[in-house]
Structure 1
Amino acid sequence: MQCQICNKSGMTGNNVSHSNRKTKTRWKANVHKQTLAIDGKPTRVKICSRCLRTMYKPPRGRKARARAAA
């Protein structure tokens, strides 16, 4: 599966043993099916856990602090 926000998908590489033998492996992205409110409508999306966590972060920076103080 692939994240519909950042297009993150799996990676490929090698498992390397102690004797330095290499075997192919695949790491999958941590993608979840989630219902999110997009433009006020509940929409079902496939989203990775990093994007899901980032959505709930408060805004940072000088402009965000100015808005919070006003």
Structure 2
Amino acid sequence: MSRVCDLTGARPKSGHNVSHSNRKTKRRFLPNLITKTVVDPTTGESVKLKMTARALRTLSKNPKKFGGKITAMAKKNL
């Protein structure tokens, strides 16, 4: 399962765990992904998307922002 947001394209990022003595070890920062079924506003079709919590908030506040991408994902899934 790839950890990529379908709407924003958010991917895992790399960084360091830093201890009190300032030693650094590699780690990954994963996006907060949610699998959600979204209804396409133009066609009325439902599409299952993997999106970040931030994209879900944006979508609930302003549904037109990702409208084109949701339509494209609906066509791709069919």
Structure that is richer in helix per residue: 2
Question: TM class, shorter-chain normalised?
Answer: 0.7 to 0.9
Distance in 2 of aligned mates of 1:21 and 1:58: 43
Q: Determine helix, strand or coil for the equivalent of 2:55.
A: helix
Q: 5+ unaligned residues in a row in structure 2: which ranges?
A: 64-78
Distance in 1 of aligned mates of 2:62 and 2:49: 22
TM-score normalised by length of structure 1: 0.77
Taking the TM superposition and a 5 Å limit, the aligned residue runs for 1:29-68 are 29-38=31-40, 39-57=43-61
Deviations 1:5-42, CA, capped at 9 Å, x for gaps: 01001111011111111100111000111100013101
How far residue 58 of structure 1 moved from its aligned partner, in angstroms, is 5.2
Rg larger in 1 or in 2? 1
Q: 5+ unaligned residues in a row in structure 1: which ranges?
A: 60-70
- RMSD of aligned Cα (Å): 1.5
Q: How many residues align?
A: 59
